[in-house]
Structure formats: C-alpha cells, structure tokens
A and B are shown apart, each in its own frame.
Chain A
C-alpha cells in the first residue's frame, strides 16, 4: 500500500524471478513436490486471508470449500469425462455458490458466533461428503483423477504444476492488491475496523462481507480442484479440521491482512511440516505452540518483523516511521 513504488516493484520483480527459477534449483522430485504444496497452500491461504485479514472475521469452514472445489472437478472429470481445464472454473463456481448460500446465512452474525456457524457448516459438508457414497464414494475417496492439461501440455508432474499454481498465486496476489487499493477493498477494511461507522458512511456491511466471503470460497474451490488433479486421489479428509487449522496457522503466522504474509506463512508451514517429520504426531503440538507464540508476541505475523526492523532502522537515522503496513485485525473490536 505504500508509495515508494520504485523499490517495491523492483523487489516484487526479483521475488517473482526467484520463484520462477526455484524448481531448477530444487534438483529432485521430492523438493519440487514440496514447492507445489507450498504454492497450493499459499493460494488457499491468500483466499482465506480475504476473510480473516481484510474482513476481520474468523472462518472455520474454509477447508470445506476447498473440498467442494476438489470434488466438483474430480467428479466432473471422472464421471462425466469433462476436461480438467473446464473443471477448474466449474470448481470455482460451485464453491462460490456454496459460499453464497452459507455466507448468506452465517454472515448475519459476527465474531465468535460467525466462526462457530462456519465450523458447523464445514462439518455438515464433511459429513455429507463422507456419507453420500453414490456421488463421492464416501471414505474410499475418488481415485484415478486425470491430470490437468492445457491442450498438449499436461500438468502430470510437479514442475509444470508448480508453474500453473505459481501463476494462480500471482494472479490472486494481484487480485488482493487490486482489492485493497480500490473503493471495494477500503470498504472491506472499514467494515473490519468499525462496522457501525462503515454503515454510517453508506457501506452495506452485509453485502461487503458476502462479496469477500464468496470471492474467498471461489478461489478456495479452484485451489481444491488443482490439488485433486495433482494428487489424483481425494478423500473427505481434505475437508477435515486439520486442514482448517493448517490454513489459519499459515495466515496468522505469515501475517494476516497482507499479501506476502500468507505466501511466507505457507513456506514456513510446509518447511516445518517436512523437516519435523521425525517428531511424528508431536508436530501438531509444535504448530500449536508456534501459533500461540505468534499471536502473543508477533500479532502482525512474520511480515511485521520486516516493518519493525525498518522502523527501528529509520528511528536510528531520525527518519519518520512508516505505519506498519496493513494492520492486524486487533482493532476490530473498537
């Protein structure tokens, strides 16, 4: 949001170039697979960040929409023979339709009540997926999902898939940047910061939240579809609570309300998840501790470290401190 745009665009160009050459540095299929997972989590976390970061509402239902997208595209391609490329927008549309209905009901309440409602709706979607065996094959899951393909270009391995998801991450990052630098996004932030004041300024709080929620679920659905066609197997577990927790952890640790935060958080999450494999089930305890530590000591997430450093650096040189970027949701209660 800051305007020293020259240095900014240079840094962004450098970052994108680094991301583009990463698979060549990875050297083996395992690391390339991790890169894909990083980008997938970054995509999903960016979408969740629209709700948590910009609208300031906590949702526990996000994984369910990822699942809706994954199942939509998987069922369309395995049972109706629809090309996965067409399944992708369908996944986004169906997830958005679910988001519209659920958001329409759940966004009537705010704060903890909204969070609990989304948890409930997520559980309902999980249960339906788990038991509607005729459609979803229940706990057996759907197997033999064809890989994504654009014409002759098949995304059947990690490297091409990485570039596909990277492109989607960059597009979503641009969507988010465009959002917060527009009237619409400023309405999002106004609603997060002070809903009664936002309403008195002519902002329809309910519609604003619904728009954000539906946009977030649409992107989640697309992410889910990519996952399904990459892993080639999906089970109802994709909608499970552990995935909800993972996405929330990624957004909070990285820095909610920012664009870099969710991408960075996803890197930390995937990196720790793999490097802590030796710790077995203890990993989740470590993640819980990390989440707690972040909330207490670094509410702005990892990205706020950089802003802190820059501000202290400026203070040393007697320069005016810049505000800490897009802020956390702490102020929402006022």
Chain B
C-alpha cells in the first residue's frame, strides 16, 4: 500500500487505494491512495476544485467511486451507501451547514444518536423498562454532547434560530452523537472568525482525546497546521504530497499549486 504508512504501528482505520471518480469527461479524483491510522487527525487540503469534497463524498458513501477501493476498519466498503457507512461508524459534516432545522438542538442530537440506540416504536408503545432506561440514558448523553459543544444553554432552541457559529457546533454535536469511529469534517472552520477557529481547534483536539479518528478538509491553514498530525494534498484530483504539516506546507510543489509563492507561517 502506501509507502508513508508502512512504518506506523498504529491500526489502520481507513485505507483508500487507487480511488478514481469521473464525472463525464472530468476526472475529479484520480488514482488517490492514502491511509488514516486510528486516533490520527489528518488534514486534506488543496485548492478549490482539487477533488477534496468528491473524495469525502466517496468516503461517506454518498457517491460511488468510478474505480479503486475503500476499506474501513478492515472491511471493504467500496460503493457502500451512505447509511451503511453511517452504521459502520463513519460520521460526516457537510460543507454547507447541514442540520435538522426545525428540531430543537436536543432533538437534533437525539435524532442523530440513531446508531447508538435500540428501543424503537414497539418499545415506545409499550413504555417498557428497556425503553425508559434507554430514553433517560439518551437524554443524558445528548446533554453531555451539548455541553461538550458548548450548546447546553441552547438545548430547547430550534436549530433554525441559532447563530451561524452555534449551528456549526451543532453540526459537530450531531456527528458526535452517532459515536463515530471516523469523523469526516468538511470545512468546519468555513466562515469562522479567528476566535471561533481557535475554539474549533480545541474542540477537534478534545474529539481526538475521546478516541475518534478525524479526517478534515480545511482551508484555514492556521487550523490545519495546529490540529493535524498529517496532511494530504490534492491538486486536480491527484495526490501531490503527504506528510507532517511543517514539511508539507514548506514543500515547494505544494506552495506552488496551492499557497501561492509565499512560504507559510505555520
């Protein structure tokens, strides 16, 4: 597989090999091979149109690859639909704010905990002990996640009525409620001011501390450089560099295609 990944002893949670996606005559992602180790925070960067979101959509199952394979936790997931990836433990956020607009923050999180709950309609009709126990547990867990995302004071507010920054945090709360093993964050810092960006960095670190592996697409270099263990750079659908942030961000090729002529203060 990947030359860069062979030395690392940690468990490989995601292995992408020779992944390609063609839209008509356009090859959005070409022959990309990369791996993510369990517990890592990996950044996926590249200029607009580099194929980052296309790659994300394939990983999340909402877009089948044209060729190549995706293995998640040792299981082949190539072409598996979105809800199957979700059930296996891959959660994602979307580039454009994506939540359940006319539900409260608490219900957003509770709805998102689908994968982690069992008691369904039947149990709810009977109001049996299993149902009551699970609902109490779910409410507690959902509140914990809201506290984690600093949204507990907004638990009864409709998602629609929240500020932009709150909505972006609620998105992460939703993704976390599914108790994912791999979290795909698509431009979580988009539209955030530096202070909110810093808050996001803290949040990603704490998410990692909970044992969740994170793969994120991001344009804010400060966020990327301060939170990622490793970076993968795409350009025109092709992987052009991979490695530690400091090294990648000073790679002349990366600077040329992505960051302009100036070196970055990372």
Contacts and interface: CB of A to CB of B under 8 A. Distances in A.
A323 B104 contact: yes
B70 interface: no
Interface in B102-133: 102-104, 107, 110-112, 114-115, 117-121, 123-125, 127, 131
B258 interface: no
B128 to A, nearest CB: 11
Nearest to B125: A178
Given A190-B112, A193-B102, A331-B102, A204 B156 contact: no
Contact of A328 (B98, B102, B112, B125): B102
Contacts of B111: 186-187, 189-190, 193, 198, 201
A201 B112 contact: yes
Nearest to B139: A3
A322 interface: yes
A187 B114 contact: yes
Interface string B69-105: 0000000000001111111000110100011111110
A274 interface: no
Nearest to B104: A323
Given A194-B99, A197-B100, A186 B114 contact: yes
Interface in A194-228: 194, 196-205
Interface in A124-139: none
Contacts of A322: 156
Contacts of A178: 121, 124-125, 127
Interface in A274-314: none
Given A179-B121, A182-B120, A203 B114 contact: yes
Nearest to A182: B124
Contacts of A182: 119-121, 123-124, 131
Report which residue of B92, B102, B104, B158 has the largest number of chain A beta carbons within 10 angstroms of its beta carbon: B102
Question: What size tier do the contact residues of chain B reach?
Answer: 35 or more
Contact of B85 (A194, A197, A200): A200
A272 interface: no
B81 A199 contact: yes
A200 B91 contact: yes
Interface residues of A, number: 35
Nearest to B127: A178
A314 B123 CA distance: 35
A184 interface: yes
A202 to B, nearest CB: 3
Nearest to A177: B124
A178 B158 CA distance: 22
A6 interface: no
A200 B86 contact: yes
Contact of A331 (B101, B117, B118, B121): B101
A184 B102 contact: no
Interface string A1-29: 10000000000000000000000000000
Contacts of A324: 158
A185 interface: yes
Given A193-B103, A327-B103, 12 more contacts: A175-B125, A178-B125, A182-B119, A183-B119, A185-B121, A196-B98, A197-B94, A199-B81, A201-B115, A203-B83, A323-B104, A331-B160
Interface of B: 60-62, 81-87, 91-92, 94, 98-104, 107, 110-112, 114-115, 117-121, 123-125, 127, 131, 135, 156-158, 160, 174, 177-178
Nearest first, the 6 closest Cβ-Cβ pairs linking A and B are A202-B86, A327-B102, A182-B124, A193-B100, A331-B101, A199-B82
